[in-house]
């Protein structure tokens, strides 16, 4: 196939692989969905990097689950609703906190080892939680433990096949029906189809759209983009959560400093060593993430500083080593000796509350298409995710999506039409993908970051819409080009949603509409006409 028309295809001209269920993404949601679907049939996992590379693998804090003696699912429910700023789907939240207990026990049965003492599991606390309910593994390596446990189970399952280094360009779709995916082999450049009766999107978030982010390089909004192009609805796209504390040093990666650090006694201070959170919220350093993030930005303005500091001096060196080994290691690499030295921090883009609109079983408005994990939006997170609920969401709704997709596949063995997809492409010899990507990230950070307003949002929309016009018609040959096209599309939708919501709620804060309004206690949904 001529590389100039790489993304054009006629299904009958492509080689194809058939399966019952195809899962796109290998984070915890995708792996759990695969294991559940494999109970009923054959599964293929398609992942654009190595199977371990995901947002899950880099997750530090832990899993929020009501397993401690003083805790109940009702308390967890109430905390989640409170953090969600009025936009949580209460049915989905009830499922999350009730079924989450059993899903966590299941992953323990698979071999996941969480930190314990003589009395049993150790429970930490993070922002907006009323009880200590965060379980963690190897201190601050919870995501890695979960990911490795699930990968072991997946590799042992004879019904599951993994395609690593394979990028999904688009869905195979025709008349509101999904028949699988079009895949690009990153190594050979070969394009082929994975045909399936059910397709599950579990590609993670969109953090790489921003200049400052905790997300790995793979978080480029691909699943949201190709689902949208197929006609799937996207919901709550204005709600990107900014994590309050990421390492801020010239030349250093924006390494996440877990909220669990504050849960264990760390406090935020400004450059004058003032403990400023007392003046912003009654929960102080453990207020919801949107409040802490904006408080940090406000304090930076007041003190004319580029960052604030996380003070761990109330913790012993032994506790820091035991509880936060990864954070200690990365700080040491840059000459910060904790708990003696303070950690310079500031907010970064962290978690996407919006995504592909689903019901409580992962079903979308496209027949045969399902979604779970960060790429999806059932309304469970509302306008601002409660800390450490994301891994729990992946386990609970990943299992639900996997089962629903597998049962759908068994009942819907329809013949696949000879789908055609041709689009006019232009060859841009001078298109610098990396330069457009960096420019996009800068515009998003400046115009649709922690604070937004009509003027900057409309400016960003005009700029990105112009870039999108010529990049979407460009012939790209490699994964970074496909990613750029996806990022631009989703960035435009995020900005459009932020313009529409004329209020401030959760992670969405507009300086020209600083108050929350009951008129906007509703979801905003986008769908391709």
Give the whole-angstrom CA distance, residue 1 versus residue 420: 15
Alpha carbon distance 184, 222 (integer Å) = 13
Closest CA to 2 of 369, 287, 427: 427
CA distances from 393 to 80, 103, 473 (A): 12, 10, 37
Q: Tokens 């996380």, residue?
A: 310
Exposure string for 207-222, b = 16+ CB within 10 A, e = fewer: bbbbbbbbbbebbbbb
Q: Kindly give, in sequence order, each residue whose CB lies less than 8 Å from that of residue 69, ignoring residues fewer than 6 positions away.
A: none
CB 510, CB 502: distance < 8 Å:
yes
CB 37 within 8 A of CB 111: no
**524, 235 Cβ separation under 8 angstroms:** yes
Q: What's the full length of the chain, in residues?
A: 529
CB contact set of 34 (below 8 Å; sequence gap of 6+):
21, 23, 43, 45, 154, 157, 160, 402
**CA distances for 321 relative to 96, 247, 267, 291, 325, angstroms:** 32, 18, 18, 29, 5
User: Rounded to the nearest 5°, which phi and psi values hold at 191?
Assistant: -115, 135
Q: Which of 110, 109, 114 is nearest to 138 (CA)?
A: 114
Catalytic residue among 262, 289, 323, 505: 289
SS (H, E, C) 400-466: HHHHHHHHHHHHCCCCCCCCEECCCCECCCCCCHHHHHHHHHHHHHHHCCCCECHHHHHHHHHHHHH
From the list 370, 357, 436, 374, the residue with the least C-alpha distance to 403 is: 370
Q: How far apart are CA 186 and CA 485, in angstroms?
A: 17
The DSSP element (H or E) to which 395 belongs, if any, is helix 390-411
133 annotated active-site:
no
Catalytic machinery residues: 289
């Amino acid at each position: 196939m001529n590389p100039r028309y790489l993304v054009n295809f006629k299904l009958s001209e492509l080689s194809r692989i058939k399966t019952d269920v195809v899962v796109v993404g290998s984070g915890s949601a995708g792996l759990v969905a695969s294991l559940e679907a494999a109970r009923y049939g054959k599964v293929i996992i398609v992942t654009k990097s190595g199977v371990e590379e995901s947002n899950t693998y880099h997750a530090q804090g832990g899993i929020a689950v009501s397993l401690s003696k003083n805790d109940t699912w009702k308390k967890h429910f109430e905390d989640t609703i409170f953090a969600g700023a009025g936009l949580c789907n209460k049915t989905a939240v009830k499922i999350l906190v009730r079924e989450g207990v059993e899903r966590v026990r299941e992953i323990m049965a698979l071999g996941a080892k969480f930190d314990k003492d003589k009395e049993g599991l150790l429970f930490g606390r993070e922002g907006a939680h009323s009880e200590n309910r965060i379980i963690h593994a190897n201190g601050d390596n919870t995501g890695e433990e979960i990911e490795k446990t699930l990968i072991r189970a997946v590799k042992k399952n004879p019904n599951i096949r993994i395609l690593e280094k394979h990028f999904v360009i688009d869905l195979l779709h025709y008349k509101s029906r999904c028949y699988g995916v079009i895949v690009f082999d990153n190594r050979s450049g070969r394009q082929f189809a994975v045909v399936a009766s059910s397709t599950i999107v579990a590609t993670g978030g969109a953090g790489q759209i921003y200049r400052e982010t905790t997300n790995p390089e793979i978080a480029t909004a691909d699943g949201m983009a190709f689902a949208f192009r197929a006609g799937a609805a996207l919901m709550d796209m204005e709600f990107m959560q900014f994590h309050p504390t990421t390492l801020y040093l010239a030349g250093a990666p924006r390494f996440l400093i877990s909220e669990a650090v504050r849960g264990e006694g760390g406090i935020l201070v400004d450059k004058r060593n003032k403990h400023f959170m007392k003046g912003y919220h009654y929960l102080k350093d453990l207020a919801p993430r949107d409040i802490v993030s904006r408080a940090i930005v406000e304090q930076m303005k007041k003190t004319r500083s580029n960052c604030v500091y996380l003070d761990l001096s109330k913790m012993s060196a032994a506790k820091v080593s035991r509880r936060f080994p990864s954070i200690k290691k990365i700080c040491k690499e840059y000459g910060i000796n904790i708990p003696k030295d303070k950690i310079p921090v500031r907010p970064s883009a962290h978690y996407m509350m919006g995504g592909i609109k689903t019901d409580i079983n992962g079903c979308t408005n496209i027949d045969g298409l399902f979604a779970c994990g960060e790429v999806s939006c059932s309304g469970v997170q509302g306008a601002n995710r409660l800390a450490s609920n994301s891994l729990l969401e992946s386990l609970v709704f990943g299992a639900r999506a996997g089962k629903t997709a597998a049962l759908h596949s068994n009942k819907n063995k329809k013949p696949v039409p000879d789908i055609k997809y041709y689009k006019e492409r232009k060859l841009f010899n001078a298109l610098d993908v990396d330069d457009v990507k960096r420019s996009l990230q800068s515009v998003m950070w400046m115009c649709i970051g922690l604070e937004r307003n009509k003027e900057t949002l409309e400016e960003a929309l005009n700029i990105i819409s112009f870039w999108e016009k010529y990049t979407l018609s460009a012939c790209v040959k490699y994964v970074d080009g496909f990613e750029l096209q996806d990022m631009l599309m989703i960035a435009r939708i995020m900005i459009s949603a932020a313009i529409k919501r004329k209020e401030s709620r959760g992670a969405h804060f507009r300086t020209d509409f600083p108050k929350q309004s009951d008129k906007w206690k509703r979801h905003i949904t986008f769908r391709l006409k």
